[in-house]
Amino acid sequence: MKYSIQILSIIIFIALISCAKQSTPMGGPKDEDPPKLMSISPENESLNTKPSVIELLFDEYVKVENPNKSIIITPRIKKDEMEVTALKNRVVIKLNQELEDSTTYVFNFQKSITDITESNVPENLKLVFSTGPEIDSLTFSGNVAYTFPQKEKKMKDVLVGLYTKEDTTNILTAPPYYIGTADTAGNFTLTNIKEGEYLAYAWHDDNNSLKVEEKSEAYSFLGDTILIDRNISGVQFYLDKSNLSEFKVNRSSPTGSNFDIVLSKFPLDITLEAEDLGEKLFFRRNERTLRFYHTEMVNDSLPVQLNLKDSVGFAIDTLIYAKFEESERNKESLEVNIEGQKNFVDILKAEFKFNKPVTTINYDSLLIKYDSASIVPIKQEWLSFEDSLMRTRMVLKWKVPDTLSIENFIVYAGDSTFIDVESQFNKDKKETAFRRLKKETLAEELKITVNTDELPLIVQVLNKREELMAEQYLTESNVATFRNIEASTYLIRAIVDSNKNKRWDTHNMLENRQAERVYYLENPNDNNNKETTVRGGWTLEVPIQPTKPMGISKKTIPEDDEMEELEKDINLFIEELMDKYSIKTTVDK
């Protein structure tokens, strides 16, 4: 009996604890209604208030998730010092800091508060109040887009921010003073802004840090200071990745019998000066590492002058002594791959890629096969190295004779065809198939007109995997004509090559240099669709329209003299109407 009473007491105690615990009810219809805000303190649009605590009361139990990052607060406050708690149907925010005088604050709660049943989010939950006698009401609005199309067409996690002119921080170092989110179409509006001068940025905030991780996140900036003394609209940002971290030599040291220079970033341009370069001294580039090979030098060093540039234009200009030591370390095996555009029209073009510089080729085992037993020996004049100093990429170009009515070919390299700088042979044979297309299946002509006076232009045709299929560099005309294009679906774009280096260049915020502009051929029936279908036997003429310029549209900010002219035109129009219809005005004296 004693034990029965104890057990019953435990059961009652557990039941009472369960009743008191906040939890999701079991059973019943699914809750699809978001929590309804019953009251908020301070009240929305309150004036002359400096709250230390903000309280929100809802009509049901709620919870908060990651509030210090999810709640967007403008102007910027120290969110790390803020405490946010949810108890039953109440959310309490302890600011734990002094707010600025005569400033309008906006708390945008986004998805930080939800009900405890189905995580429904209150609609447009926002608090606005001022520590002064009036609410700041200026707005800054526009659109954010990516320079290059993303796989996900809908915008996600894209923010826009304003920093005051006096602020010593920027998008790379701290969250902005004012901040807002772009919707899935890239449109944004920052509200309740105080009149002043600002610097504007947009970025993809993938890790929810409210600032840019420059090595992995795309971002954009307006180079000039913006005076916001009226509502500004029509702002345009284009997002690109731009790594502004220091470009330097991290390490240089012998590796086996070779010499490695390890860089902080990938070198886009490489210029070297050294004795016997291209004859006895060779190198390869592997991501951030330059490896040097010397065919004769042992236990000695060689001065190498390095001139390197990264993707944002930062340069390294230094002299390094490359030391080559005797080593018993096993030499790296030579690896070969054969790549290239698998379908061709007249010229078979293949690319041999090596992991090390190749110095010797055995042409007896380098062939083009067709039918079951026929071969064409590859001649030396058909081959060329993309870079004679690296010798790691070799291009084959063979014009197939018209008399050879064959469609399928195989580029073949037997084992021991290639010998590298360390006297290593390729151990395995390699072969890759290529197919000649029938001309009657091809588009006769693809004519692309870029509606701009900007030159030079790089006009590119890419497949759906964004592999380059055809390209033209225009210096005197804005029209590119491609013939015998394979029937398929393509992305067609034009790059404005402002610095004339024949490639696209990203922006450099530290030098206030914007990225080179890129214009895509848009589907007229779907602005989000940049795919163009090219049909066999057709001639296709298409225009590429320039996209909206980066920055603030001048039409959205009328100058004072423009306003005066507009007022004169309106008054003149009114007078003409009055004369036409014999309307007279009377003035009471």
With pLDDT > 90 as the criterion, what percentage of the chain qualifies?
78
pLDDT per position as a tens digit, 363-408 = 999 999 998 889 999 999 999 999 888 899 999 999 999 888 899 9
With pLDDT > 70 as the criterion, what percentage of the chain qualifies?
88
pLDDT level of residue 586 (50, 70, 90 thresholds) = very low
Pick the CATH number of 138-239 from 2.40.50.100, 3.40.50.150, 2.60.40.10, 2.130.10.10: 2.60.40.10
pLDDT per position as a tens digit, 205-219 = 998 889 999 899 999
Fold of 336-436: Immunoglobulin-like (2.60.40)
φ/ψ of 556, rounded to 5, equals -85, -10
Over residues 328-357, mean pLDDT? 94
Average pLDDT of the residues of the chain = 89
User: What 3-state DSSP class applies to 411?
Assistant: strand
Given a cut of 80, whether residue 513 has pLDDT beyond it is: yes
For the chain, the domains span: 37-130, 138-239, 249-324, 336-436, 440-551
Given a cut of 60, whether residue 259 has pLDDT beyond it is: yes
pLDDT level of residue 523 (50, 70, 90 thresholds) = confident
Which of 339, 338, 346 shows the shortest CA–CA distance to 486? 346
Over residues 116-141, mean pLDDT? 94
Given a cut of 80, whether residue 525 has pLDDT beyond it is: no
Residue 223 sits at the vertex; the CA angle it makes with 219 and 229, to the nearest 5 degrees, is 110
Which of 97, 201, 107 shows the shortest CA–CA distance to 158? 201
What is the C-alpha separation between 333 and 338, in angstroms, rounded?
17
Class (C level, CATH) for 440-551: mainly beta
Sheet containing 551-552: which strands, arranged edge to edge?
187-193, 138-146, 232-239, 551-552
Sheet containing 258-263: which strands, arranged edge to edge?
249-255, 258-263, 289-294, 281-286
What is the C-alpha separation between 262 and 42, in angstroms, rounded?
57
Q: According to the model, what pLDDT value does residue 553 have?
A: 80
Fold of 249-324: Immunoglobulin-like (2.60.40)
Q: According to the model, what pLDDT value does residue 472 have?
A: 97
Q: According to the model, what pLDDT value does residue 585 have?
A: 46
pLDDT per position as a tens digit, 553-568 = 875 444 444 445 556 6
Over residues 302-318, mean pLDDT? 96
The two tokens of residue 161 are 């921010």
CATH architecture, domain defined by 37-130: Sandwich (2.60)
- pTM summary value: 0.83
Given a cut of 80, whether residue 582 has pLDDT beyond it is: no
What is the C-alpha separation between 366 and 376, in angstroms, rounded?
9
Could you tell me how far CA 294 lies from the centroid of its own chain?
A: 40
